Structure 1
Amino acid sequence: TSPLIAVLKEAIGIEKAVLNTVHAYTSTQSLIDSPVRSGDVRKARAAALNIIPSTTGAAIATTKAHPELEGKFDGIAMRVPVPVGSIVDVTFIASRDTTVEEVNEALRKAAEDKKWAHIFAATDEPIVSSDIIGSRVGSIADLSFTRVIGGNLVKVLAWYDNETSYTQTLVEHVAASARHLEAKQ
């Protein structure tokens, strides 16, 4: 989510935003209806059979990366009955009027920028969750679903493999930290 937010913030500006991550179920969820352990009745429901509204740490993580959005950015999750492959739906008030074409051009341009290599991509292809399984890219903007209402209400979707892309991003951060530490010695 953070790369997508960074690109949009730089290109258009974000006044406030909310995200909905439609997320594959995780190992913290039960595969069958089970007794409530955490006090959250929904988490006790069968993950492979239900769409389960939940909280997400993505909004907190994003505001840590973009502290100027603290108090202006929130989110929820919908855990869905697929084992892997997720999509984030970000809706935001832009800092200025924009168009679908401008938003998509900014996303395309970022996807071609070396700064975002292996982190951010964009596609016009009609992909679904199984198409991104194994993708190492942290965020793949789905340009066919960009929407702009009234000039400043913007919706953008971006796919991610909730296992592989997370792991790849973590590995890249560790490698970058190691290079940074080596340079200091």
Structure 2
Amino acid sequence: MNSQDEIRSLLQKFQDGYTQRDLSQVDSFMELFTADAEVIGTNGIKPNMDEWYMNRISARELVAGDWEGWGDLRLDLDSMSVQSREDVGWVAASATVTKTIGPENYQSYLEFIKTFLNDPNLSAEQKLLHILRGGTNTVYELRRGESFVWALRFTAVLVHETDGWKFAQMNFSFPTIYFPDVRLMG
């Protein structure tokens, strides 16, 4: 088997894990990653913060969280780009995350607001603006239907170790055409 076929096999194992989402298998799934793998989730802003993990042990939190509640991740394995040179490979794939979110989301958003209101680090104006934005988005999106399909970009760097190809770096990102969700304030 050549390097690109081996990398494709690793990506299929990755997809299988995200398809099955068996939490009892998270630790064995994490063996697909190098010990010092850097994994950047969609909420990653800076290293070691939110969803920017700097090793396999901490990245386990992202995978377990994804499997518990993120949705159905589907990599487009047929059209992904797979490249390699010697012991390094890189991939880029389009993907989707699909989740059914019903009217119960109105109640869960109200519960979120209750905890958000107690945040001492935000001004009253910041809280109100965040609540209005989130509330408007919730109503708008739920009126469009209960099946949510989000476009996703998946990129990864792989290295060949003695026991085969492993993920050394991975990034999940959502494309956007409007203002990005995260804005750094000076």
Q: So what's the TM-score if we normalise by structure 2?
A: 0.27
Which protein has the larger Cα radius of gyration, Structure 1 or Structure 2?
Answer: 2
Q: So what's the TM-score if we normalise by structure 1?
A: 0.27
